[in-house]
Structure formats: C-alpha cells, structure tokens
Amino acid sequence: MIEQTREAEKRSASSGNANGWNPGQFAIALAGLAVVITLLWLGFLYLRGSQATTVTDAVIAAVVAIVWGVGGVAALFGVTNTLIESLPLNWRRRLLPFMFFLPGVGILFLFLTVPTIITLYQSFFNNDTTKFVGLANYVATFTDPSMLESFRNNLIWLFAGTASCVILGLLIAVLADRSKFEVVAKAIIFVPMAISLVGSSVIWRFMYAYAPPGQPQIGVLNGILTSFGLEPQSWLTLQPWNNLFLVMVLIWGSTGFCMVLLSSALKGVPNDIIEAAQVDGATEVQAFFQIIIPYIQGTILTVTTTTAIGTLKIFDQVYVMTGGQYGTSVVGTEFYRQFFINRNFGYGAAIAIVLFILISPVMIYNLRQLEKQEGF
C-alpha cells in the first residue's frame, strides 16, 4: 500500500504537479498575456486613428475591427485560463470565477463608468474645458429657451409615446389572442421592430414628404390629400403638431415590442379565475379591468418603464427626420448640437449629465420590478 501511494505521488509530480505550481506554464502564459494585451492596444490605436477614405480602407478597417474584437477576446480568455491553470489548485478555485466575472465588469467600468466620470468633470468647465465655471452650465440647461423647448418635447414623447405604445400593445394583444389569425396579426405588428430606428425614420420621411402645390407628391399622406382635391401639408414643419407626427414613428416601431410581452403575460392568466368571475356575474369588461389587469400589473409596469426610457433618450428619429428644427428638438439632439456642432464641451457635458439623471430613476425602478419578478 505504501509503495502504491509513493508511485501515485511520483506520477502526480511527473504530470506537472496537478495540485501545485507549474512555473513553466505560468511563464509562457504570462508572456502570452503581455503579447495579447499589446496587440489589443495596437489594434485600438489603429482603429482610433484610421480614416477610411476609400472602399478598400473601409474593408480593411472592418476586418481589423472584427479580428481585434472577436479574436482578441478569445485570445485573452485563452491565455488567462492557461495562466490560472498553472497555479496551485487552491488558487485555481479562488481565481477561476473571477476570470469570467472581471472582464465584463472591467468593460463596463472602462466604457460606462469612466466616460460618465469624465463627462461629469467636464460639465463644470467652459466650452473648451479650460476654465472652471461651477454650476453655470447646469443653470443654463434649465434657463436656455432651446433647452426648455427640448424638455417640453421630451415630455410629449414620454407621455404620448409611452401611453400610446402600451395601450395599443395591450389592445392588440387582447384582440389577437381571440383571433384565428393570431400568428399572422402579431407578425405584422412586430415586423417594424426588426427595422432600425434610422430605417424607420427614412420610411416615415417618405410618408410625410412634401412638395409645393401643383408638383407631384411622393409623400403618401399628401398623395391622399391631393387625390381628394385638398392642399398638401408640410407635416414635419407644422408646429406644434409635428412633434406628434414624429411620435407616430415611435408608436409604429415599439407597439410590437409591447404587444409581445403583454400577450405573453395574458396567456399566463389562469382561466379558472376568469371563469369564476363570469359565474359570479362579471362581464368581460369587468373581468378584464378587475382581474386581468391587476394580474399582469407587473408586466405592464415593466413594459411602460422600458418604453419610457426609450422616449427619454430619443435621438435617432428626430435627428433623421427634422434635425431638431421646427420646434422638434429634444434633449438628445440638443446635446449633439452643443457638443459636436457648436463644440461647447462643458455645456454639452452638462446636458448629458442631466439626461442621465432623468433616466436613472426610471432605470432603477425598472430593475427593482425585475428583481421582484425574480428576473435577476
């Protein structure tokens, strides 16, 4: 027995000491980690400084970006795993979970936390961030007429857009569940979700396209008006109604999202409860508002807050369709104008922080609702 134990120990030592330290593998893995980090940094510098002036340059930059992103993550995981495997067993067990956890946290810290801190710092300085101005940028944010107009428009998007999406999504979910063409109806409503926000905006620009009277109308709405002998309308410049016309793009694109989630919640309502209510004399309307709505209340709140977050940070549709002109500017477009066009970095940073503060309570509430529903 003693001889067998000694032979097992010898085999363990000769196989690289599975429970101990492997200095050769550790050194190779450490050198590999340094090489991978260096290559990732060089790739980052190349992509940051690349200017695609030709199609060939654009293709090369795209290939480098794919190899740098996908290959870099795979290589980083491989060498890190090899490095940890070279350590003693007790250290392996301690460090292995962090190998999967820390990269994600590190990426979040690098691309979310650090920019937020830098933006907050810049918001206390002047337009070229050379002079400390205290809270002057924040005072201007809440006193500048253009920003006040943006806040007003964001409220229109928040209430009109969110309420319309949720109500229409719930209505379509209820009606589609009772239809023989449920799958087809839901597919048609959900299709706009597959289109990007910019693509949706381009589509609706053709819907609202305007040409002076007497000229051919390529816009669908003006084509309908002129076919009945009415004057064409410049929908996107018709203040203040143009904001509601822009909200229509959000409703068209987001109602399908609300419908899918609410339909799933409706299918989870037990039929026994509804049948018991009907036996007690409740009408379908009473059963809907007094039983079904309270039962899916959590899903309704989650869908509402998620859609509200999208309306608060709206930018794409407004920028593509009007550029924030004709009284349609929102906080997102105003931030873009100040930071990237006017080069007013301090004021633009303050607008970004204000937008972050506006969105944060809704996000926190949404996360708490998901936590209550054991979403985490």
Residue 1 lies in a domain: no
Same domain for 117 and 143, yes or no, is no
Number of domains in the chain: 2
Same domain for 208 and 349, yes or no, is yes
pLDDT given at position 150: 93
Quick check: 304 pLDDT over 90?
yes
Q: pLDDT tens for residues 35-51?
A: 988 988 888 888 887 77
Quick check: 17 pLDDT over 60?
no
Instruction: List the one residue out of 79, 113, 81, 75 whose CA is nearest residue 97.
Output: 81
Same domain for 95 and 194, yes or no, is no
Residue 107 lies in a domain: yes
The parent domain of residue 104 ranges over: 18-122
Q: pLDDT tens for residues 243-258?
A: 999 999 999 999 999 9
Instruction: List the one residue out of 345, 342, 354, 318 whose CA is nearest residue 147.
Output: 354
Q: pLDDT tens for residues 179-238?
A: 888 888 888 988 898 888 889 999 999 999 998 888 888 889 999 999 898 899 999 998
Same domain for 219 and 317, yes or no, is yes
Same domain for 313 and 177, yes or no, is yes
Sequence-separated (6 or more) residues with CB below 8 Å from residue 231: 213, 225
Among 63, 98, 122, the domain boundary falls at 122
Highest mean pLDDT out of 101-110, 322-331, 364-373: 322-331
Same domain for 102 and 144, yes or no, is no
Residue 314 lies in a domain: yes
Same domain for 204 and 335, yes or no, is yes
DSSP symbol at 132: B
Residue 3 lies in a domain: no
Same domain for 301 and 363, yes or no, is yes
Same domain for 146 and 106, yes or no, is no
Same domain for 281 and 326, yes or no, is yes
Same domain for 158 and 258, yes or no, is yes
Quick check: 62 pLDDT over 70?
yes
Residue 7 lies in a domain: no
Residue pair 253/197 in contact by the 8 Å Cβ criterion: yes
CATH code for the domain in which residue 249 is found: 1.10.3720.10
Q: Alpha-carbon distance 84 to 119, whole Å?
A: 37
Same domain for 152 and 93, yes or no, is no
pLDDT given at position 20: 66
Residue 2 lies in a domain: no
Residue 131 lies in a domain: no
Residue pair 326/208 in contact by the 8 Å Cβ criterion: no
Residue 12 lies in a domain: no
Quick check: 362 pLDDT over 60?
yes
Quick check: 273 pLDDT over 90?
no
Quick check: 16 pLDDT over 50?
no
